[in-house]
């Protein structure tokens, strides 16, 4: 295929260098954005009288035919092309001749690829946001069912205080809610139309950038041509958002892996989302959770690769920027594979609520409540903390939970104790007296669920519109 830039060169490109330089193997996925951007550009060129109106019309019509032919499978993308931009232009010229050679007037591949990437990233933000919405729905549905299920909460992987399963799920709801909002903010910053920036210094042609912006559905045009062609902040920000999503998925997967072990027995993952061992017939492995946990590092790698690529680039465009695509594409593909699998796996889980409850009774998770009871009786918090600590030490020696110690034993630690302490340190009381906003008490959790439902209603309206 003839090079778009071949006029300056008398010699042929080295075959190995040609393959090394080519990006068609990965940037071909931008064909729709490239053709859509070219259609808007051609319409603008015709409207402005920069090229003859009849040429603009035939370019637009033929570009639409090329798009249709690619999508139907009638036209295969030539893998020997330098990139998707040269393939589309070459195909256009082969179909309509010289009129097709006018398409690139007032445009550089630098602002062309910047446009394609922004359009692609905006579309993928919408796609990932939709997958997040499905996960948020699943989390909220499970939280509603489990407001009374008591389980231990942990710090340092040690049992800390009793909470509810609903409270746990709502913690992840908040994480993925932030992810959704981050994506929304990232989209707003990506929503700038760079076409018209040229190679770096705009153009002498009377382009109507606002017209192209409107045609392509952007909110605004880029403000500086140097920045527009060399900016990949939106790619880095998007992959950063994807990395945080993966981090949240990985944390949840880590808990599900632990909870499915014989040591916990909190959950049973459906057979549909587990595998077995080739040698140990008894095994049921949480492979999907482990794979998602493992793939998190892959997305992190894409982010670090992008940051490293960008860190030493002078203005304006440099071919190093070609390295943005594979990192972005792989991060997107990974997250879009992980989110639906995780959501399906999460919805498949059976909870062993009896084991969760029994576990919450162990580990002296009510020790803080014993201290709080003492404070309410007039003991200073520091003194109450020490008394409760001595109480735990004594109970460990006796191999008994706090609630099974006799009143005499309690009084030997502190004379302040009386019969009412037993109700105060039951796990049900421990949970349901923590009714401050954001707490695990059923009343606080129900309030939180209402707020989450309100947020999700707004999200689903946007998803349905898209």
Q: Could you list the active site residues?
A: 156, 277
By C-alpha distance, which of 369, 349, 350, 373 is closest to 361?
369
Sign of CA dihedral 303, 308, 311, 314: negative
Cα 321 from Cα 328, distance rounded (Å): 12
Count of Cβ atoms closer than 10 Å to residue 269 Cβ: 22
The pairing of beta strand 150-155 with beta strand 158-164 = antiparallel
By C-alpha distance, which of 301, 310, 308 is closest to 330?
301
> Do residues 412 and 397 touch, judged by C-beta distance below 8 A?
no
Structure tokens at 443: 């009343």
Q: Which residues pair with 275 in a beta bridge?
A: 285
Residue 88's alpha-carbon distances to 95, 110, 322, in angstroms, are: 11, 16, 18
Alpha-carbon torsion, ordered 78, 83, 85, 90, to 10 deg: -40
Inter-helix orientation angle 31-47/109-145, to 10°: 130
Cα 121 from Cα 299, distance rounded (Å): 16
Identify the helix (H) or strand (E) that includes residue 150: strand 150-155
CA 101 and chain centroid, separation: 41
3-state SS, residue 163: strand
Cα 433 from Cα 180, distance rounded (Å): 32
Q: Is the peptide bond before 316 cis (omega within 30 degrees of 0)?
A: yes
Burial 143-159 (b: 16+ CB within 10 A, else e): beebbebbbbbeeeeeb
By C-alpha distance, which of 158, 223, 165 is closest to 196?
223
Cα 406 from Cα 79, distance rounded (Å): 81
């Amino acid at each position: 295929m003839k090079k778009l830039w071949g006029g300056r060169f008398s010699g042929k490109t080295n075959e190995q260098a040609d393959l090394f330089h080519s990006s068609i193997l990965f940037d071909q996925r931008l064909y729709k954005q490239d053709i859509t951007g070219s259609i808007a550009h051609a319409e603008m060129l015709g409207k402005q009288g920069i090229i003859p109106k009849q040429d603009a019309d035939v370019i637009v019509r033929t570009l639409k035919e090329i798009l249709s032919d690619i999508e139907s499978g009638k036209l295969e993308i030539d893998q020997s092309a330098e990139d998707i931009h040269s393939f589309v232009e070459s195909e256009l010229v082969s179909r309509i001749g010289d009129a097709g050679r006018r398409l690139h007037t007032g445009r550089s591949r630098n602002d062309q690829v910047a446009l394609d990437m922004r359009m692609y990233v905006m579309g993928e933000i919408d796609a990932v946001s939709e997958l997040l919405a499905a996960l948020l729905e699943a989390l909220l549905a499970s939280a509603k069912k489990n407001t009374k299920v008591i389980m231990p909460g942990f710090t340092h992987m040690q049992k800390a205080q009793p909470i509810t399963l609903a409270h746990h799920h709502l913690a992840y709801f908040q994480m993925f809610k932030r992810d959704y909002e981050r994506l929304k903010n990232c989209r707003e910053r990506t929503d700038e139309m760079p076409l018209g920036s040229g190679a770096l210094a705009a153009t002498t042609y009377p382009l109507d950038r606002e017209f192209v912006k409107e045609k392509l559905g952007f909110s605004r045009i880029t403000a500086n041509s140097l920045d527009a062609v060399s900016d990949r902040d939106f790619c880095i920000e998007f992959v950063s958002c994807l990395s945080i999503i993966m981090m949240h998925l990985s944390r949840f997967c880590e808990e599900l892996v632990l909870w499915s072990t014989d040591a916990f027995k909190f959950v049973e993952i459906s057979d549909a989302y587990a595998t077995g061992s080739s040698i140990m017939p008894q095994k049921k492995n949480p492979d999907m959770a482990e794979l998602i946990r493992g793939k998190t590092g892959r997305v992190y790698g894409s982010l670090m690769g992008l940051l490293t690529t960008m860190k030493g680039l002078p203005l304006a465009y440099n071919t190093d920027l070609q390295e943005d695509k594979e990192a972005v594409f792989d991060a997107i593909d990974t997250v879009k594979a992980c989110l639906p699998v995780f959501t399906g796996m999460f919805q498949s889980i059976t909870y062993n609520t009896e084991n969760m409850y029994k576990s919450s009774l162990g580990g002296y998770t009510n020790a803080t409540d014993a201290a709080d009871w003492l404070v309410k009786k007039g003991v200073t918090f520091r003194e109450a903390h020490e008394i409760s600590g001595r109480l735990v030490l004594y109970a460990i020696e006796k191999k008994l939970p706090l609630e099974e110690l006799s009143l005499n034993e309690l009084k030997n630690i502190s004379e302040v104790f009386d019969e009412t302490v037993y109700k105060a340190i039951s796990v049900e009381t421990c949970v349901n007296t923590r009714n401050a906003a954001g707490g695990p008490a059923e009343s606080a959790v129900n309030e939180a669920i209402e707020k989450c439902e309100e947020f999700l209603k707004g999200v689903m309206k946007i998803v349905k519109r898209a």
